Structure 1
Amino acid sequence: MSADLSQQAAVARPASVTTRRRPALLRRAAPALGLFAAARLTGLVLLALWSWHLGHSPLTIIGNSWDAKWYTSVAAHGYGARTFTYPNGDVQSDLAFFPLYPALIRAVATVLPVTGGGAGLLVSWAAAAAAACGIYAIGERLHGRRTATLLVLLWGLLPHAVVLSMAYTEPVLTALAAWSLYALLARNWLWAGSLAALAGLSRPNGYAVAAAVCVAALIEVVRGRATARVWAAGLLAPLGWVGFVLWVGARKGDVLGGYFTVQDKWGSRFDFGVGWLRLARDLLLRPAPVVLTVSLLIVAAAVLLYVLLILERPPLALLVYTGALLLVAVGGTGFFESKPRFLLPAFPLLIPLALAMTKARPRTAIVVITALAGLSFGYGAYLLTSAHMPL
């Protein structure tokens, strides 16, 4: 596939013709969405059974653990209500958490008789479904229905896919990213920029969507094809992320650096991959927790998949978006066990695998999917019930 977005648009059939000749997107995506729902529901059932066996509440585990507590606190009380102080005096602030997800939790909890955790789960589950549909739409546009279906299923069977069933922000970011990228491929510039701005309000690595839109818009400007909509998309896309970062900075008394100081107190900083090299060295020299070993392997696999993705020559927007997510995972330090979760929105990494499985014999594809399902369900249950490490 060409990296030129304009070429993608040039070969696309007119929307009216496409609408007449093909069933609606939801109908075409129904098998993929059904497989995705079945995968995640099976994972939830197995997690619930194992949790009850250990004497834990499944709803508490998926709706009120780790970061979910911070999001529901912001939703209920606003920023500044929750902090954590280390013995050395360092303070972890809730200003590290972006505002879109808490706002959605608050809206749902206001309308429905549910707790903050319950509202968070409803938002995440709805966002995961929207994300799966958006991923399918991109896969179908680029490679056809069968590859798109496998792409969605593979995304739902990642080792950390259990997060898609939790009160976490990854489903929201992935949904906004997928549809923003799809809008770019369809040259719906205003939709692409608007969704990118919302993505920037969802997570720290939401900037990756804005990066994709801005690069695509810049190419149009350089080639002399920029319209008012292209300029608007390029200006809209970074507003969410930049706006929140500056707001936090102003609240901390340092407009440009305040947000990054907050993240530094959480141990999150960019070290150009030095931390990963040290972790790899330590894993070779002495035993380490299973989660750290698996995290290192997953990120290494992601780097390899990115190389394979480049060889497939996808649209440039997908490469920029995925590369930006991978840059944070590889170049950032702190919370190494969470890096695979940070890569959940990087669904284009799975395109080479989906293409390979499309060409494989059905029996081979079934074996691979079954193995991935066993790993995803088992490892997901282990992460939430036995690992005792931040997710």
Structure 2
Amino acid sequence: MWREGIGVSATDVTRAEAEESSVPESQPVGSRFRLPAWSVRRAGTVLAPALIFLGIRELGLLVLTWMAARNNHSVSEALRSWDGQWFLAIAGGGYEGVPDGLVDAYGQRSAETPLAFFPGYPMVVRWFAAIDGQGGIGLVTSALTVTIVSGVVCSYGLARLGRHIRGGSHRTGLILVALFAASPMSVVLAMAYSEAMFCALAAWALVGVLEKRWLLAGVCCALAGLVRSTGAALVLAVGLAALLVVIRDPRSWRAWLGGALAPAGLLGYLAWVGVRTGEWNGWFALQERGWGTGFDGGAATLRFSLDALADARSVLEVVTVWLIVAALVLLVVMIVRKVEWPLIAYSAAVLAMDLASNGLMNSKARLMVPAFTLLIPVALALAKRRVSTFVVALCALAVLSSWFGAYALTSWGYAI
């Protein structure tokens, strides 16, 4: 008898089992119970997503440190700049305790201005900072820790997502993690910004959709809606997927519950802001008044793109335009390759929210970071190449994105 084509007979197996059982009881325990040879490999497999993410982000921090020194900037200040100041202020004193020195894009400030920033991230930062009950570890340290931990949690969600997609594999998942960690504006995944936390919740919500784990999808989606307005894109994907299941099987209470939970966080916060401001569209009005952000169908983005390409005012603006083009191409590739439709819906919604609105054009690249599902076609393509090929490609991308992120914080003089 032969097992799986390996030349071991039943007699040999029986003899081996007999020899193993004949080991004297007096023999040292360590010689009879050895650590399996594959345990190190198993540990590497378990830790791989975290190690890949942390390794690439460490490279980004090293490049940022170098460029900050060359440009006379503080790394610590860079990592908590711009929106980070708002999140830290809200974490420290709540919406009522934000210092008057923090103003909107027009240099103005009202009592409602801080409400433009969602509460999920600063709330967790505040809880973590006070974890020891004696003053905590400091808001900045807490914020950066929450960001990095969120990135690691996201990496495991992406690794799992890469195994579930059509044509995916374990290798695809790890490559997807590397692509996310090395995305062009991935520097925010190490800053006091809310992108990392949102991406972690979004990744696991989408895992819940693909695995038909509706409670996981609904809860993660609801929490994501408390972190960023991009939660609307996630609500669309999770809600539609749950609705289709309910239509096919009305008795699926988990799909009912998951679909009902999905918009709870986002709608709850928007309603609360509406009550606080006395306007039914309070949050949107704050965005319009303070940052000039509103839906215009993409007219402002088109004008910005044409102007940036025409006179090439800066590296950041030109690269941003080409990143927009690349994102749109990847969305088309996702459709052609028939990637699971909830992932396409989520990608399209994130892009629509970003590109079809006016406001700060310099933030377009950063606002595409949550559209990590656009990286799936690239991950699938690289997974089919030789190990040396995709390793070299990912290393090159990591170096370029590290430089671009450091440039945005140390050389570019405006908000990202």
The answer, yes or no, to whether TM exceeds 0.5 is: yes
1:27: how far off? 5.9
Residue of structure 1 equivalent to 2:103: 84
Instruction: Answer whether contact 2:129 2:142 (CA < 8 A) is retained.
Output: yes
Residue of structure 1 equivalent to 2:345: 320
What pairs up with 1:244-259 in 2 under 5 angstroms? Answer: 244-254=269-279, 256-259=280-283
1:259: how far off? 1.2
Change (3 A) 1:86 1:102: closer
CA distance in 1, matches of 2:392, 2:259: 44
Change (3 A) 1:368 1:349: same
Considering only CA atoms, is the larger Rg found in Structure 1 or Structure 2?
2
CA distance in 2, matches of 1:185, 1:85: 40
Read off the aligned partner of 1:330 and give its amino acid letter: L
CA distance in 2, matches of 1:213, 1:125: 26
Residue of structure 1 equivalent to 2:117: 97
For 2:249, what is the secondary structure of its paired residue?
coil
Deviates more, 1:362-371 or 1:292-301: 362-371
Read off the aligned partner of 1:237 and give its amino acid letter: A
Structure 1 residue 68 and structure 2 residue 84: aligned? yes
Structure 1 residue 374 and structure 2 residue 393: aligned? no
1:189: how far off? 0.9
1:50: how far off? 2.6
Q: 1:30 aligns with which of 37, 47, 57?
A: 47
Change (3 A) 1:389 1:301: same
Structure 1 residue 161 and structure 2 residue 186: aligned? yes
- Per-residue Cα deviation, 1:190-210 (whole angstroms, up to 9, x for no partner): 111011000000001112221
CA distance in 1, matches of 2:126, 2:316: 33
1:288: how far off? 2.1
CA distance in 1, matches of 2:84, 2:182: 22
Residue of structure 2 equivalent to 1:120: 143
What pairs up with 1:259-278 in 2 under 5 angstroms? Answer: 259-265=283-289, 266-278=291-303
CA distance in 2, matches of 1:26, 1:272: 49
1:114: how far off? 2.2
What pairs up with 1:128-143 in 2 under 5 angstroms? Answer: 128-142=151-165, 143=168
Count of residues in Structure 1 that have an aligned counterpart in Structure 2: 368
Instruction: Answer whether contact 1:66 1:390 (CA < 8 A) is retained.
Output: yes
Residue of structure 2 equivalent to 1:11: none
Aligned identity (percent) is 36
Residue of structure 1 equivalent to 2:174: 149
For 1:332, what is the secondary structure of its paired residue?
coil
Q: 1:48 aligns with which of 65, 69, 75?
A: 65
CA distance in 2, matches of 1:141, 1:28: 17
Give 5+ residue unaligned stretches, structure 1.
1-22
Change (3 A) 1:87 1:235: closer
Change (3 A) 1:87 1:120: closer
Read off the aligned partner of 1:323 and give its amino acid letter: A
Instruction: Answer whether contact 1:212 1:318 (CA < 8 A) is retained.
Output: yes
Instruction: Answer whether contact 2:309 2:318 (CA < 8 A) is retained.
Output: no
Q: What's the TM-score once normalised by structure 2's chain length?
A: 0.83
CA distance in 2, matches of 1:87, 1:319: 36
Change (3 A) 1:36 1:236: same
Read off the aligned partner of 1:244 and give its amino acid letter: Y
CA distance in 1, matches of 2:106, 2:179: 42
1:236: how far off? 0.6
Q: 2:74 aligns with which of 41, 48, 57?
A: 57
Give 5+ residue unaligned stretches, structure 2.
1-38
Deviates more, 1:218-227 or 1:239-248: 218-227
1:26: how far off? 7.9
Read off the aligned partner of 1:43 and give its amino acid letter: G
